[in-house]
């Protein structure tokens, strides 16, 4: 079978939310009222740090699909003031975030052990809080969140091919400014990281055979795989990749914005920024060319994301290895599209009802691991049909 991006159709039920007249859905979704509704309707587990595990009602997969969000809606009412990246979290919240993430990935690996049968992924997303509230593609929840998703391989193999020119697909060929124009310096900048647990590899070596993705992104294999998930040094290195990405993003767009070749004051790796990025004539030239286009073209200027937007992914490849990758975020692309999986969500209450109980029971099973780890308290969600999914 020739690798190609796939389009998966995923049903969802009626959404029991009333958007007040005069508000756009995106505006309402970022309100404290919606976030309260999220916990009441679909909440599974909450920690003292306000990390909330919940069911994705409009989800990616009907096999396994849940998220953890840092719910600061009762603490920070300004949606533009909420944490949208891991480096903005308080230390204790970050530690619990890492533990919850490791536990849920471990659960998926245990219950879906065969890479020939299931694709497993965990993806952290940030669309920066400075994006316009009514901009299409802005996340419905303006706080840092992590996705945990499983796709049956048979579903992907039988799915129709997605349009390879879909604007939401992120790969080396299109839709990523860094990889399209700056691939060499981008990858060189990441090569300078001093990592012991994560081993750099070519993206082609870890792409999924069914889709051929990811393409062209910097990638690292987690040495010793599952055994390292609970190792604090793995999470330290995982964060170093994000911090390196932030340096690249900030340096480039600071240069586009101001025209000044300078190391950003918040740079995590200032020497590497000065030597590799600002020392590259190509890096500087591409930024200056983009600067001129922003000045001349107002429509193009409106599409620029001046603050870092990224998706960092941990997934299992065809050989069963755990792989880390990171991508500049395109407008509107989903976390699954880094792996070439385009999800088409369709309102279909009857189809969702047929799979709902099995899906929720798998999420409740995963929640048991968090309860056992004594990280927080389960949430009894009274709104699921007849309480039949609620366990005491």
User: Does 295 map to a domain?
Assistant: yes
Judged against a pLDDT cut of 50, whether residue 391 lies above it is answered with no
Q: Which residues of 315-354 are buried (b: 16+ CB within 10 A; e: fewer)?
A: bbbeeebbbbbbbbbbbebbbbbbbbbbbeeeeeeebbee
In the prediction, which pLDDT does 174 show?
38
pTM score of the predicted model: 0.91
User: Does 267 map to a domain?
Assistant: yes
Domain that holds residue 290: 6-387
Output the average pLDDT for the chain: 87
Which residues have CB under 8 Å from 145's CB, separation 6+? Answer: 67, 68, 69, 70, 124, 125, 139
E strand or H helix at 150, and its extent? strand 145-152
Which residues have CB under 8 Å from 375's CB, separation 6+? Answer: 45, 47, 96, 99, 100
Number of structural domains in the chain: 1
Average pLDDT for 121-135 = 69
**Which tens digits make up the pLDDT trace of 26-80?**
677 767 777 777 787 888 999 999 999 999 888 899 999 999 998 887 888 877 7
User: Does 181 map to a domain?
Assistant: yes
Judged against a pLDDT cut of 80, whether residue 178 lies above it is answered with no
pLDDT: which is higher, 389 or 195: 195
* Whether the Cβ atoms of residue 130 and residue 327 lie closer than 8 Å to each other: no
User: From CA 278, how far away is CA 284, in angstroms rounded?
Assistant: 7
Q: How many residues does the chain have?
A: 392
Task: Return the minimum-mean-pLDDT range out of 126-135, 162-171, 311-320.
Answer: 126-135
User: Does 392 map to a domain?
Assistant: no
Task: Return the minimum-mean-pLDDT range out of 232-236, 300-304, 311-315.
Answer: 300-304
In the prediction, which pLDDT does 272 show?
97
Average pLDDT for 313-332 = 88
Judged against a pLDDT cut of 50, whether residue 309 lies above it is answered with yes
User: Does 142 map to a domain?
Assistant: yes
Closest of 70, 85, 82 to residue 39, by C-alpha: 70
User: Does 17 map to a domain?
Assistant: yes
User: Does 1 map to a domain?
Assistant: no
User: Does 35 map to a domain?
Assistant: yes
Judged against a pLDDT cut of 70, whether residue 128 lies above it is answered with no
Average pLDDT for 144-157 = 94
pLDDT band at 175 (very low <50, low <70, confident <90, very high): very low
Judged against a pLDDT cut of 80, whether residue 157 lies above it is answered with yes
**Residue 43 pairs with which residues in a beta bridge?**
54
Task: Return the minimum-mean-pLDDT range out of 123-127, 244-248, 312-316, 356-360.
Answer: 123-127
């Amino acid at each position: 079978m020739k690798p190609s991006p796939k389009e998966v159709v995923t049903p969802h039920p009626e959404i029991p939310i009333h958007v007040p007249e005069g508000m756009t859905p995106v505006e309402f979704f970022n309100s404290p009222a919606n976030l309260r509704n999220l916990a009441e309707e679909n909440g599974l587990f909450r920690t003292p740090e306000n990390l909330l595990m919940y069911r994705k009602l409009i989800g990616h997969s009907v096999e396994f699909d849940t998220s953890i969000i840092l719910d600061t809606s009762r603490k920070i009412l300004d949606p533009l003031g909420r944490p949208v990246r891991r480096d903005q979290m308080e230390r204790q919240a970050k530690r619990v975030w890492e533990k919850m993430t490791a536990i849920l990935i471990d659960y998926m690996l245990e219950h879906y052990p065969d890479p020939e049968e299931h694709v497993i992924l965990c993806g952290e997303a940030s669309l920066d809080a400075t994006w316009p509230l009514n901009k299409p593609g802005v996340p419905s929840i303006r706080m840092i969140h992590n996705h945990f998703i499983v796709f049956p391989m048979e579903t992907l193999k039988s799915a129709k091919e997605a349009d390879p020119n879909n604007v939401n697909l992120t790969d080396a060929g299109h839709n990523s400014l860094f990889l399209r124009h700056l691939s060499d310096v981008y990858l060189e900048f990441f090569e300078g990281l001093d990592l012991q647990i994560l081993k750099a590899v070519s993206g082609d070596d870890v792409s999924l055979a069914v889709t051929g993705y990811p393409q062209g992104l910097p990638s690292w294999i987690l040495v010793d795989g599952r055994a390292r998930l609970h190792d604090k040094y793995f999470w330290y290195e995982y964060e170093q990749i994000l911090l390196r990405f932030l340096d690249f993003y900030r340096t480039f767009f600071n240069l586009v914005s101001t025209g000044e070749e300078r190391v950003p004051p918040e740079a995590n790796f200032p020497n590497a920024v000065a030597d590799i990025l600002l020392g590259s004539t190509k890096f500087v030239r591409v930024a200056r060319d983009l600067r001129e286009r922003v000045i001349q073209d107002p429509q193009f200027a409106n599409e620029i994301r001046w603050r870092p937007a990224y998706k960092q992914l941990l997934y299992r490849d065809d050989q069963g290895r755990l792989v880390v990758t990171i991508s500049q975020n395109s407008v509107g692309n989903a976390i699954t599209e880094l792996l070439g999986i385009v999800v088409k969500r369709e309102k279909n209450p009857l189809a969702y009802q047929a799979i709902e109980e099995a899906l929720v029971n798998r999420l409740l099973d995963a929640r048991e691991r968090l309860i056992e780890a004594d990280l927080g308290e389960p949430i009894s969600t009274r709104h699921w049909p007849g309480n039949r999914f609620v366990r005491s």
